Amino acid sequence: MRFDKKKKNEIINIENFIDYNKNLKVEEKTFKKLMFAYSVALKELTTKIEIMKDEFEILYDYKLIDHIDTRIKTPESIINKMEKRNLKLTYSNMIENINDIAGIRIVSPLKKDVFSIKNLIQNMNGINIIKEKDYITYPKKSGYSSYHLIVEIPIDLSKQNIYVKTEIQIRTLAMDFWANLEHKLKYKPEVPMDDKKKSMEWVNCAKIVRKLDNKIMRNY
């Protein structure tokens, strides 16, 4: 479901959910409130995806989704990302510019399933799609492949309703294997390999993974 201005006006922005104050205790409380909002949004989205997974397995006897992983960024990770982007460390900047504080990764058996899942999410009631990037059709130079969505999830609290941004990554088992292995070995100190050589080898591995995905899909 695309961004709906009329509908969004009925739900307050997450910035109105927090308090701005230079007092340290209030700042800590503010950060906890923000992380609570992101964690609730992640639970809401995870529930929707798990229902989708169960629906296809039980009603259609088809394993559309292999597994789901979730995470919330640590304060250190948020700060590092903001500093790399030369953003002033304010809550307003964090909310506006850091879209992957809450994240869910959906791993499917086949490449065609990735696009089926993407279409199903786009049609979910109440979810606004803010941004999408197709790194499967157009992989990154590093070889990384995945489909990314930035969405807004409405969360219902006892006194207010708010929209919260969440990142969704959808990829195949083969893509997930490559990404996890590349992440673990990228900074491994005991591997004396030239950066350029290492990058080229990972790109070649990614090409093999894409060929594997295509071959599996053709033979399925």
The reported pLDDT for the residue numbered 24 is 41
Locate all alpha helices (DSSP H) within the chain, ordered by sequence.
5-8, 24-59, 75-84, 91-97, 111-122, 173-185, 195-219
Ranges in the chain, pLDDT < 50: 1-12, 20, 22-26, 192-193
Q: CA-to-CA distance for 37 and 14, rounded, in angstroms?
A: 8
* pLDDT for 2: 38
Listed in sequence order, the residues at least 6 apart from 177 whose beta carbon sits closer than 8 Å to its beta carbon are 209
User: What's residue 9's pLDDT?
Assistant: 40
Cβ distance 14 to 163 under 8 Å?
yes
Which pTM was predicted?
0.79
Helix, strand, coil percent values for the chain (each to nearest 5): 50, 20, 30
Structural domains of the chain ordered from first start? 5-219 (3.30.460.10)
Confidence (pLDDT) at 144: 84
For strands 147-156 and 128-134, give the pairing: antiparallel
Report the chain's terminal Cα–Cα distance, integer Å: 30
pLDDT in tens, 66-125: 999 999 999 889 989 999 999 988 888 899 999 999 999 999 999 899 999 999 999 999
